[in-house]
A = this chain, B = another copy of it.
């Protein structure tokens, strides 16, 4: 069987100029980066045509079996294009951390991929790198201000910002900096996050234009003074320099699927620890250019889905017209208690037990008042009986469901799915936000836990409670909440699969992100800097003397 990379390398990609033309972009509106990638210089506000329909692809809680959400999004977009519907894809950018670590690439799989696969997974057009250097420049400027007489009276023990690398590096989670005395800076404990979890990534993803980008950067709170006052980037007077570093990164990146569907890849992944959706700029651009825009939300509907609907949708000014929940027989069997090495055998009881996970996500997504459909991402080992159990279950929920084989057949494998999505897109939708902006942080969290996760409530550490008191005094209490939580469970315990009940979510700490415009709630044991596994994917990656890469999955 060919690997994803081998499939991607044997398909002829169109020159990016042809893809731009297909998307309706003029030559002046694209800036080529290599032969098959381009930055898009397009201001959606300057175009009066009506927006297309927005299709949000999300999923059940992921398991090591793989659920294939990106793969289904790609296959669905290709299938919609095959029906003659003018469609674009809007996806998040991959992070190099998992590419070198556990996961491999993040550009779909099989015949439902985005290409050029290697370039997208390694550097794309450098957005992550620009964010990395911008975040590290910003924190260096903060430390330099402390070192050079500390005119803003920043308390070195209360610097909020961390440095960032697009690397899975547990060694840098918790570090002591400024060791060695003068002239090596001021001794203080700090740490690195993965770039996708940085505040600048969230800002880039949510900014509506360059002016909004700069204003958000200026609003970032870098830390507190000795008398507990927040210090902003505006006070440091370096917002212009940081904006200059991110100016090009703000433009969406145009690539293509194997089926030549124009695709905008832009914004950071990891809805477990960050906002984790395609950027506002890219989604708005796609909505102006296409009649149907397929986008995805990271990990399960509890993480990416909820954040898309509660944080991104208000800024986007348009809610999804259809929500697609992706499930696989394999993953549902794991939720039902089957071990990873037993997944090929038919197991109806385990599958039936695992459906509780799908059920909770159906319940939570229907809550938003938007038509919901279910896509079963078919694997070769799925039996007809197993597939029928899933489709019958969804039918009982009065939802449309389709089985799709996008890995093996790309868009051709998703024609049924495309049909039910197009049908759902004609149904009426009345979007209902989960909470009102005026709700308190605890009210917002409780609503998320009870409605989206199916839990009973939320507990806060003494530190988290003190923080909320501070936020109240500073006027930050009405910001939306980004929950950082394990992706493997609806609860904050990665071991509790399927649909746990009667659990609480434990908030150990909040991180205020005033530039991004939200409060991050760190729950359970979630970390914002991953580590590498015993045998990192990097060990498999090779390059031959012609520059051809192998071993990138």
Which residues of A does B touch, CB under 8 Å? 31-35, 39, 96, 100, 118, 122-123, 126, 129-130, 132-133, 136-137, 139-141, 143-144, 147-149, 163, 165-180, 183-186, 189, 209-211, 214, 237-238, 240-245, 247-248, 531-534, 536-543, 545-547, 549, 551-552
Copy tally for this chain in the complex stands at 2
Q: How far is the CA of A245 from the CA of B248 in the complex (A)?
A: 21
* Complex CA distance for A126 and B96, rounded to whole angstroms: 15
| Residue of chain B at shortest CB distance from A129 | B129
Q: Please give the distance in Å from A177's CB to the nearest CB on chain B.
A: 5
Query: What are the residues of chain B within 8 A of A533 when measuring CB–CB?
Result: 148
Q: A31-B34, A539-B237, A543-B214 are in contact. Are A171 and B140 (CB under 8 A)?
A: yes
Q: Are B180 and A541 neighbours in the complex by a CB distance under 8 Å?
A: no
**CB distance A136 to B167 under 8 Å?**
yes
Docked Cα-Cα span, A118 to B248, in Å, equals: 11
Q: A551 contacts which chain B residues (CB < 8 A)?
A: 240
**Chain B contacts for A247, CB-based, 8 A:** 543, 547, 549
Residue of B nearest to A41 (CB): B547
Separation of A168 and B147 alpha carbons in the complex (Å): 13
Add 17 more A-B contacts to A34-B39, A118-B244 (CB < 8 A): A31-B34, A123-B245, A140-B532, A143-B169, A163-B165, A171-B185, A175-B177, A175-B178, A176-B179, A179-B189, A210-B543, A211-B545, A240-B542, A240-B543, A240-B551, A241-B537, A242-B538
* Neighbour of A130 across the interface among B123, B136, B244, CB < 8 A: B123
- Of B126, B129, B172, B238, which contacts A177 at CB under 8 A? B172
Tell me whether B171 and A175 are in contact (CB under 8 A).
no
Closest chain B residue, CB of each to CB of A243: B543
Q: How far is the CA of A33 from the CA of B175 in the complex (A)?
A: 37
Checking B169, B243, B540, B543 against A140 with a beta-carbon cut-off of 8 angstroms, the contacting residue is B169
A174 close to B179 (CB less than 8 A): yes
Complex Cα distance A462/B552, Å? 47
Contacts of A39 in B (CB 8 A): 34
Q: How far is the CA of A184 from the CA of B123 in the complex (A)?
A: 27
Q: Is the CB of A173 within 8 A of B180?
A: yes
Given A35-B31, A237-B539, is A184 in contact with B174 using a C-beta cutoff of 8 Å? yes
- How far does the Cβ of A338 sit from chain B's closest Cβ, in whole Å? 27
A139: chain B residues at CB < 8 Å are: 169
Given contacts A123-B130, A123-B248, A171-B186, contact A241 B539 (CB under 8 A): yes
In the assembled complex, the Cα of A546 lies from the Cα of B210 at a distance in Å of: 8
- The answer to whether B167 and A140 touch across the interface, beta carbons within 8 angstroms, is yes
Distance to closest chain B CB from A144 (angstroms) = 4
Shortest CB–CB separation between residue A122 and chain B, in angstroms? 6
9 inter-chain pairs at a CB distance below 8 angstroms, sorted by A residue, are A33-B34, A122-B244, A148-B532, A171-B177, A179-B189, A214-B543, A237-B539, A244-B542, A247-B543
CB of B538 within 8 A of CB of A137, answer yes
Give the interface centre of A137, A148, A169, A546 by most chain B CB atoms within 10 Å.
A137
- Write the chain B residue with the least CB distance to A143: B171
Q: Are A167 and B137 in contact (CB under 8 A)?
A: yes
Query: Which of A184, A533, A552 gathers most chain B CB within 10 Å?
Result: A184
B147 touches A171 (CB 8 A): yes
B96 touches A137 (CB 8 A): yes
Contact among B185, B209, B238, B542 for A170, CB-based, below 8 A: B185
Q: Contact between A137 and B179 (Cβ–Cβ < 8 Å)?
A: no
Rank and list the top 10 A-B pairs by shortest CB-CB distance, nearest first.
A129-B129, A241-B538, A240-B542, A171-B185, A174-B180, A241-B541, A140-B169, A176-B176, A144-B532, A126-B126
Minimum CB distance partner of A525 in chain B:
B183
Residues of B within 8 A of A245 (CB): 96, 122-123
Which of chain B's residues have a CB closer than 8 A to the CB of A126?
123, 126, 129
Residues of B within 8 A of A184 (CB): 170-171, 173-174
Contact A141 B532 (CB under 8 A): yes
Q: How far is the CB of A138 from chain B (nearest CB, A)?
A: 9
The chain B residue sitting closest to A191, CB to CB, is B179
